[in-house]
A and B are shown apart, each in its own frame.
Chain A
Amino acid sequence: EDQVTQSPEALRLQEGESSSLNCSYTVSGLRGLFWYRQDPGKGPEFLFTLYSAGEEKEKERLKATLTKKESFLHITAPKPEDSATYLCAVQRPQGAQKLVFGQGTRLTINP
């Protein structure tokens, strides 16, 4: 069965303190890995898609990377507005291609 595990569950950083979030996955073939951001009381918002090992995507202070077993979301010099829960999801190439989500990492950036 497909599995996605994110770590840590929660992370507190000071403004400007860079760090990384981890997403480990077990899936029979990977069609794509996706990162989403979810603010409290809101629906998830799409950030990145990664398709193959070695691929990287960047958006402002965020950079997502992918290996054959895990993905990292690197956050550089974060600001308080980066505080959110970050969700990772994987998709198989077969069947209906549903997304399987991890439980998320709750990130808090203190000013």
Chain B
Amino acid sequence: DTAVSQTPKYLVTQMGNDKSIKCEQNLGHDTMYWYKQDSKKFLKIMFSYNNKELIINETVPNRFSPKSPDKAHLNLHINSLELGDSAVYFCASSRKQGTGELFFGEGSRLTVL
């Protein structure tokens, strides 16, 4: 039973399209995150939600919009995709806000052509 699951695992799409990535955690955690891992393997935080409330919103283009319908789900919608959006996007969760022990999903590899 996967703790943090995200779908889809792979997305290949054209520039200008809109896409969504879904994430669910069954750990009962309060806090969820979206991270972006670029081609150089740097992991950078994009967003964090605690009990459905946005608590971290890094310098991310407005084209990226997270949505947390409940504390077990955190989705990421991306509008007007650009070449530079190609990366692996990881969803993660933690038991509470402020802990550094994160549980990551397997990642969603986005390729924009």
- A-side residues, CB < 8 A to B, are 31-32, 34, 41-46, 49, 85, 87, 89, 91, 96-99, 101, 103-104
0 or 1 for each of B89-104: is its CB under 8 Å from A? (1 = yes) = 0101000011011111
Q: Which residues of A contact B105 (CB under 8 A)?
A: 43
Q: Select one of A43, A85, A97, A104 contacting B92, CB under 8 A.
A: A43
Q: Select one of B4, B56, B104, B106 contacting A98, CB under 8 A.
A: B56
Q: Select one of B4, B40, B102, B107 contacting A99, CB under 8 A.
A: B102
For A91, give the chain B residue with the smallest CB separation: B100
Q: Which residues of B contact A104 (CB under 8 A)?
A: 41
Q: Say which one of B12-20, B42-50, B72-80 lies at the interface with A.
A: B42-50
Q: Select one of A41, A45, A98 contacting B45, CB under 8 A.
A: A98
